Chain A
Amino acid sequence: EAGVTQSPRYAVLQEGQAVSFWCDPISGHDTLYWYQQPRDQGPQLLVYFRDEAVIDNSQLPSDRFSAVRPKGTNSTLKIQSAKQGDTATYLCASSFGGRGNERLFFGHGTKLSVL
């Protein structure tokens, strides 16, 4: 079974540039999460979906970040105008949201450096 796939693995930007991250979850997983993990810190939830619906995006900086999952499978996270403070690893995870089977599976992440 394929795991969670993310691309690109690395991105280096100048401040003000835009970038998109892509995630392909495990087949059949209805819940998809995007986390931001600054260096030497724990993952911080940005947004998560059940199928194509956003369940919670309260921690997503809405002026510059956006996330979509139009068909309830793959997802894209976009930063419109990157800042140095966005430097972090962006993690995607998926799970089957039904109770009793909630283990999360993570991708390798995209390591973003904003200069």
Chain B
Amino acid sequence: GQQVQQSPASLVLQEGENAELQCNFSSTATRLQWFYQHPGGRLVSLFYNPSGTKHTGRLTSTTVTNERRSSLHISSSQTTDSGTYFCAIDPHDTNAYKVIFGKGTHLHVLP
């Protein structure tokens, strides 16, 4: 089965609204990261967050390892937040860090 699943597949918001993106992963997965990709742009790591909660600016990532889920919360969304957000994991906690991506959540923030 798929080792990392993201939801929703796409999301449309009005500027100022909050967004909650979800990532569910297999039981042996670890070392979770969240990435952002602007259309046509480079993938950028937002958080390395294998467990617990991390904040940066308007972004908050919370990973609950024993429930095999992680969320990315975007508060007060802006049009510049539009793009695709990916969750990535190491599926088997390998010594060499194997990184597998989900299919992403496409976010579109309207002005």
Interface residues of A, Cβ cutoff 8 Å to B: 31, 33, 35, 40-45, 48, 50, 55-56, 91, 93, 95, 97, 102-109
Known: A106-B44, A108-B42. A45 touches B33 (CB 8 A): no
Contact A33 B99 (CB under 8 A): yes
Chain B 77-93, CB-CB to A under 8 Å as 1, else 0, gives 00000000010100000
Shortest Cβ distance from residue B99 to the other chain A in the assembled complex, whole angstroms: 6
Contact A42 B102 (CB under 8 A): yes
The complex places the Cα of A7 from the Cα of B62 at a distance, in Å, of: 36
A40, A45, A55: the one contacting B96 at CB < 8 Å is: A55
The complex places the Cα of A83 from the Cα of B46 at a distance, in Å, of: 34
Report the count of interface residues on B (CB-CB < 8 A).
Answer: 21
B31, B43, B102: the one contacting A102 at CB < 8 Å is: B31
Interface residues of B, Cβ cutoff 8 Å to A: 31, 33, 35, 41-45, 48, 86, 88, 96-104, 106
Known: A31-B96, A102-B33. A42 touches B101 (CB 8 A): yes
Contacts of B33 in A (CB 8 A): 102-104
The complex places the Cα of A7 from the Cα of B80 at a distance, in Å, of: 28
Contacts of A105 in B (CB 8 A): 45
Q: Tell which of B88, B96, B102 has the most Cβ of chain A within 10 Å.
A: B96
Contact B86 A42 (CB under 8 A): yes
